[in-house]
Structure 1
């Protein structure tokens, strides 16, 4: 049984990137006046994501997404082409109005991820960014049109390429979110 395209950069195994990658320039897919965004810091929590909100290459079931400190993310060219996809969403995904590529998505409201911007490292002008470490929201690909009968094969393929599939975030990130909430609510100090 063949498995649909997970993502072009994870389908046949993970490239081994540099965990000390210091950022670079992200570019949208436009050939004329591409939007360029500078990330002047390293990225963290690089992962594949099956949610229906993240930008994915054509035909891919998953995106590849990471975070960087928002203060290290800046528009350097053609920012006039950007628009927020969904102003009510937690992640304010800024996408190119012409090609649809999501360039960055800051979290600005009160949340454990406030101060972080979500980016797609495959858009970097260099390919040495850290490889994804896990897959989040795997079941959500069904909401994006994947037949439920494909899920066993998709999870097996993800494990085969070296990615742990979760139907939420990784355990470490879920612990971080729960700790933030417990501190905010006064349960923990």
Structure 2
């Protein structure tokens, strides 16, 4: 099963996580005039994502995506190269118009994730960011053309890598969404 291409950061083994990681600079794939985005502080909820919206490296079945508070995201260089991929989407994915890498995606409308930005931590220049801890929207890779007959192998490989596969988000994030909704609707204080 190890020949399966999930994502380069997963397939080649995780880099060591550093408990003192305090953020860094995300860099797009352009050879010159790269877009650079500073993330202050650590990331959270890092995971492999099988959805069809997230940016993935060439040949990867999954993206690696985490969140950071939007207030901790700052475009440092070449911001004029950024454009929102889908203005109607919940996550306003800002991608480099030249290389296509998604640099950050804030959630700005009323939603449990409002105030967070989605980032692809493998784009950090620095090492030590939190490793992925689960896999989300696993069955969505079928929508990208992945053979449905091979999904058992995908889930087995993810589990082998200690990435529990979900066809939604992790239980902690689903609880967070449900709690936010209950509070918004007055069901919980």
Runs of 5+ unmatched residues, structure 2: none
Change (3 A) 1:127 1:105: same
- CA distance in 1 between counterparts of 2:154 and 2:99 reads 28
CA drift of 1:12 comes to 4.2
Match of 1:158 in 2: 158
Task: Please state whether the residue corresponding to 2:10 is helix, strand or coil.
Answer: coil
Query: Partner residue of 1:53?
Result: 53
* Aligned residues between the structures: 189
CA drift of 1:69 comes to 0.5
Contact 1:13–1:162 under 8 Å retained in 2: no
Q: How does the TM-score come out when normalised to structure 2? A: 0.97
2:18 alignment partner, SS class: coil
**Runs of 4+ displaced beyond 4 Å:** none
Offset of 1:16 from its aligned partner?
3.1
Matching residue of 2:143: 143
Shift of 1:21: 1.5
Instruction: Note the alpha carbon deviations across 1:21-63, whole angstroms, 9 max, x for none.
Output: 1110100000010000001121100111000000000000000
> Could you tell me how far apart the structure 2 residues matched to 1:97 and 1:12 are?
28
In the alignment, which residue of structure 2 is the partner of 1:133?
Answer: 133
> What is the CA-CA distance between 1:75 and the residue it aligns to?
0.4
Give the deviation of 1:20 after TM superposition: 3.4
* Aligned twin of 1:118: 118
RMSD: 1.1
Counterpart CA distance in 2 for 1:2 and 1:12 is: 10
TM-score (norm 1): 0.97
Query: Structure 1 stretch 17-26 or stretch 166-175: which is displaced more?
Result: 17-26
* CA drift at 1:3: 5.2
Q: Secondary structure at the match of 1:39?
A: strand
